[in-house]
Chain A
Amino acid sequence: MAISREEVAHLARLSRLAVTEQELDQFAGQLDVILQSVARVGEVAADDIPPTSHSVPLTNVYRDDVPQPCLTQEEALSGAPDAFEGRFRVPRILDEEA
């Protein structure tokens, strides 16, 4: 059941966390301990038990389809690290050749 340093590195990549070598060493051991503890849920015989994702038995909650006030463009952009011409500005997402 042990989680390897390589697995933690892979999970960090999936999670978009540029973790350092030092963090990897630290997290791998700690996550191993946590996983061994939480793996106890497997002791429970629950094959025929339905899962609970939520305690409130509400589904498909919609509001009436009438216009509501919302944030202005300026307000929506007010916290952006970088904005340009009314848009969020992001680093390049495609290679130049593409």
Chain B
Amino acid sequence: MLPAAPLHALEIWSNPQAVATRIEKALGFALPVMNRSAGNDAITLLRYEPTVWLVEGDVAVIADTLGDDGALTAIGGGIVRMRLAGPHWRDLLLEGGFFDTSAAAFPAGATAATVIDHVGVRLWAESDDACIAYVPASYALSLHHFWDEALPLLGA
């Protein structure tokens, strides 16, 4: 499990192109498209829904840029981040999972909102070697235990 981090839901409800341009200018990178991520050392944006991004890091710049076209809502208190690292992380996500985690279908930088053993989680393929899982805090210990139990099956 990773330390708690500032997490926000960013929703843009109007003028999406203009907002995207303003944010790109402010952050230095474009808003990611669906099921992809983008970021720098200070902030990472993960897109899971057509109009919603999960933002990890300092949101001050975005808050100043949004105007009346969207909102940021803090959600970090309810989410636990876990890093699944090592050569078996893709295989581990198939345990109780429902989506294709192969490198071709879920490459580094990709995001997914899915279900692992009936628990709704959001995933970010941080690199080829690791994936960050954003897990509802109430399920975190239980899901951690679930993955921990499954590891021996993978030869890990």
A binds B: no
Which residues does B use to contact A, with CB under 8 Å? none
